[in-house]
C-alpha cells in the first residue's frame, strides 16, 4: 500500500468584517485582553481526503485505513495566543471544536481557560466538522453570511484530514503565520465529547500516517468512537468501529484519557476501560457529570442551577479543576517525560446495568479521583441522566439534560449530624484538597479557591 501523502493547506487571514464584526466565539474579546492575549481568525482550505478501513476495525484500536475520495474544503481556525511572545510556553493546544449543538463550541477551552492563560499556552480551535459550518441558523454560514459565506465543508468523512492539514499549517507555517511567528516546542490535540469520539478514531487510524501531534487529551468519550463515513455521532453503515474500542497499544505519543462518572452512565464509557501502558493513562472523576454547573461546595443559597431547563438541579462537581490538572500533566509528559499516574478506577457493579456505578450510603460513587465534594459531602452528586422539566415536543431541538447529571442537597438534619461544627467540615474537605494536589489531580490555584469557598460556606455554622 502506498504511503499517505498529506496535502498542503492554504491559510488566509486574519479575517475581519462581517455582519457581526467579530469571530463566532464563546467568550468576549475583553476576557483575553485582560490576560494579555490576542485573538485572530484564519481560514484554512485545500483538498481533503476521506479514508476507508482496510479490513474490519477491531476492539484493540489497531485500525488500518486507505485514502478514498477527495473534496475541496475551507474552514476556520480561531487562534488565541499571548500578545508577548516571551510569555509563550512553547505549547500549542489544538482543539477539535465540538458541534453536537450544531455550532462550533470550544468545549475544552471553556474548562481549561484559566490554566491556558496563566501558563502562556497558545490555543487553536479547528472547525473540522460539517455541522459547525453548514447547520441552518447556528452554523457559521448562516450566523454571518458576509464573513463566513465562502466556507465549504464537504462532510465529516473529510474531518480527519482537515484536522491534520490545519495542524500541519501550524507546524510548518507559510505566510500568513497564524501563530504570529511563535516558536513551537510541542503540539497537543484535545477534544471533548463528540470531538473526543473523533480523536479516538484519529489516534487509532490517522496518527500513524501523519505524526502531527505530540500528545492527545481525549476528554469525555463514550463507548463508541466515530466512524469514517457517517456524519456527527452516527455510526458507519458498513464496517462500523466496534463499541468499547481501546486506544491502540502501539501509539508512539502520550494519550491521557479523561472520563467522568457521567460519561460512564450516560455514554457507557466504562466499556472502554483499559489498563495503562507506556503511552496511555486514564483518569476517572467520581461524582462528576459529562456537563455541569460547577461550584466548590454544594449548598444554598445561591440556588442550584437548573441547566438547560432540567427537571432537577444539575451536577455541581468542579469537573473543570481536574481538566486543568490533566492539561498540566499531559504537558509535563510530552515536554519533560514526566509520566502521570493512572487514577483509581470508579468502582463498577454490573457493567450492563443502566447505572453500573457502585455507590456509598449517600448515593455517591466509590473509587475514582476523590473530589473534596465527595470526601466531605453536602449532597449526592450523580453523573447519571437528568431529564427535561417538560417533555420535548416532536421536532423540537434536543434537550441535553441527560448529560448534566444532578445534585440533591442533604437535608439540615443530615448536615448537622455530619458537621456539628465548621471545623468538622473543613478538616476532611482540606485533607481531600491536599491529597488531590499531592496526587497531581488538582493544581494550586484551584486548591486555594476550593479551600476559600469551603471556609466561607454555611456548612457547620
What is the DSSP annotation of 285-349? ETT--SS----SS--SSSPPP-TTTBSSPPP---HHHHHHHHHHHHHHHHHH--PPPPPPPBPBS
**300 and 449 share one domain:** yes
66's CB contacts (< 8 A; 6+ apart) are: 1, 51, 52, 54
Task: With respect to residue 318, please indicate whether it lies within any of the assigned structural domains.
Answer: yes
Q: Examine the domain organization and report whether 219 and 298 are in the same domain.
A: no
pLDDT over 70 (residue 393): no
Q: Is residue 205 part of a domain?
A: yes
In a shared domain, residues 281 and 210: no
What the block records as the C-alpha cell of 66 is 486507505
**Residue 3 lies inside a defined structural domain of this protein:** no
Q: Region 204-212: what's the mean pLDDT?
A: 97
Q: For the chain, how many helices (H) and strands (E)?
A: 14, 11
Structurally, the chain folds into a number of domains equal to: 2
**CA 334 to chain centroid:** 18
Across the range 205-226, mean pLDDT stands at: 97
pLDDT band per the 50, 70, 90 thresholds, residue 4: confident
Do 258 and 346 reside in the same domain of the chain? yes
- Together in a domain, 308 and 186: no
d(CA 301, CA 417): 20
Residue 244, pLDDT > 90, answer yes
Last residue of a domain, which of 201, 223, 245?
Answer: 223
> Is there a single domain that holds both residue 301 and residue 438?
yes
What is the C-alpha to C-alpha distance for residues 17 and 249, in angstroms, rounded to an integer? 47
Domain CATH number, residue 170 = 3.40.50
Q: Is the pLDDT of residue 198 over 60?
A: yes
pLDDT at 25: 92
Q: Checking DSSP bridges between strand 122-126 and strand 65-82, what pairing results, if any?
A: antiparallel
Domain containing 267 equals 254-461
HSE (side-chain half, CA atoms, 13 Å) at 211: 7
Q: Would the pTM of this model clear 0.85, i.e. be above it?
A: yes
- Let me know whether 295 and 215 are in one domain: no
Tell me, what's the pLDDT at 398? 58
Residue 21 domain flag: no
Residue 247 confidence (pLDDT): 98
* Of residues 7, 168, 155, 157, the one with CA closest to residue 94: 168
Single out the residue in 208, 223, 238 at which a domain terminates. 223
Q: In this structure, is residue 8 part of a structural domain?
A: no
Task: Give residue 308's pLDDT.
Answer: 92
Beta strands 37-53; 65-82: pairing state: antiparallel
214 lies in the same domain as 114: yes
Residue-level pLDDT at 28: 78
Tell me: pLDDT of 395 over 50: no
> Same domain, yes or no, for 150 and 54?
yes
Q: Which of 172, 200, 223 is the last residue of a domain?
A: 223
The answer to whether residue 235 sits within a structural domain is no
Q: Are residues 343 and 426 in the same domain?
A: yes
Are β-strands 280-285 and 255-260 bridged in parallel, bridged antiparallel, or unpaired? parallel
Q: What are phi and psi of 158, to 5 degrees?
A: -95, 0
User: Is residue 10 included in any domain, yes or no?
Assistant: no
Pair (456, 382) in one structural domain: yes
Residues 267, 402, single domain; the answer is yes
Q: What count of other Cβ atoms lies within 10 Å of the Cβ of residue 296? A: 23
Mean pLDDT of 202-214: 97
Amino acid at each position: 500500500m502506498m504511503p499517505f501523502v498529506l496535502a498542503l493547506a492554504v491559510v488566509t487571514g486574519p479575517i475581519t468584517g462581517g455582519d457581526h464584526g467579530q469571530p463566532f466565539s464563546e467568550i468576549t474579546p475583553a476576557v483575553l485582553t485582560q490576560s494579555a492575549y490576542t485573538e485572530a481568525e484564519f481560514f484554512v482550505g485545500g483538498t481533503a481526503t476521506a479514508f476507508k478501513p482496510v479490513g474490519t476495525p477491531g476492539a484493540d484500536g489497531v485500525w488500518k485505513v486507505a485514502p478514498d475520495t477527495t473534496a475541496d474544503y475551507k474552514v476556520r481556525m480561531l487562534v488565541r495566543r499571548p500578545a508577548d511572545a516571551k510569555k509563550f510556553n512553547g505549547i500549542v493546544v489544538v482543539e477539535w471544536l465540538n458541534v453536537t449543538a450544531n455550532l462550533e463550541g470550544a468545549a475544552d477551552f471553556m474548562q481549561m481557560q484559566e490554566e491556558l492563560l496563566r501558563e502562556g499556552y497558545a490555543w487553536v480551535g479547528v472547525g473540522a466538522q460539517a455541522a459547525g459550518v453548514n447547520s441552518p441558523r447556528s452554523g457559521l454560514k448562516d450566523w454571518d453570511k458576509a464573513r463566513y459565506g465562502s466556507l465549504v465543508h464537504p462532510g465529516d468523512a473529510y474531518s480527519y484530514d482537515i484536522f491534520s492539514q490545519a495542524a500541519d499549517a501550524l507546524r510548518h507555517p507559510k505566510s500568513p503565520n497564524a501563530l504570529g511567528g511563535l516558536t513551537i516546542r510541542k503540539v497537543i490535540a484535545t477534544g471533548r465529547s463528540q470531538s473526543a469520539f473523533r480523536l479516538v478514531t484519529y489516534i487509532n487510524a490517522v496518527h500513524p500516517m501523519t505524526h502531527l501531534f505530540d500528545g492527545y487529551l481525549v476528554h469525555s468519550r463514550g463507548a463508541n468512537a466515530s466512524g469514517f463515513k457517517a456524519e456527527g455521532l452516527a455510526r458507519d453503515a458498513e464496517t462500523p468501529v466496534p463499541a468499547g474500542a481501546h486506544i491502540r497499544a502501539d501509539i508512539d505519543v502520550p494519550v491521557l484519557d479523561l472520563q467522568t462518572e457521567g460519561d460512564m452512565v450516560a455514554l457507557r464509557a466504562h466499556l472502554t476501560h483499559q489498563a495503562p501502558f507506556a503511552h496511555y493513562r486514564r483518569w476517572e472523576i467520581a461524582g462528576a457529570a459529562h456537563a455541569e454547573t460547577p461550584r466548590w461546595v454544594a449548598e444554598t443559597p445561591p440556588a442550584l442551577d437548573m441547566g438547560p431547563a432540567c427537571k432537577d438541579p444539575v451536577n455541581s462537581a468542579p469537573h473543570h479543576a481536574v481538566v486543568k490538572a490533566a492539561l498540566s500533566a499531559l504537558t509535563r509528559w510530552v515536554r519533560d517525560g514526566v509520566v502521570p499516574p493512572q487514577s483509581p478506577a470508579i468502582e463498577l457493579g454490573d457493567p450492563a446495568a443502566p447505572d453500573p456505578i457502585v455507590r456509598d450510603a449517600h448515593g455517591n460513587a466509590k473509587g475514582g479521583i476523590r473530589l473534596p465534594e465527595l470526601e466531605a459531602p453536602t449532597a449526592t452528586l450523580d453523573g447519571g441522566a437528568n431529564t427535561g422539566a417538560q417533555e420535548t415536543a416532536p421536532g423540537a431541538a434536543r434537550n441535553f439534560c441527560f448529560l448534566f447529571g444532578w445534585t440533591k442537597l442533604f437535608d439540615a438534619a443530615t448536615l448537622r449530624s455530619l458537621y456539628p461544627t465548621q471545623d468538622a467540615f473543613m478538616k476532611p474537605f482540606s485533607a481531600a484538597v491536599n491529597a488531590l494536589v499531592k496526587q497531581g489531580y488538582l493544581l494550586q490555584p484551584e486548591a486555594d479557591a476550593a479551600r476559600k469557598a469551603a471556609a466561607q460556606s454555611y456548612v457547620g455554622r
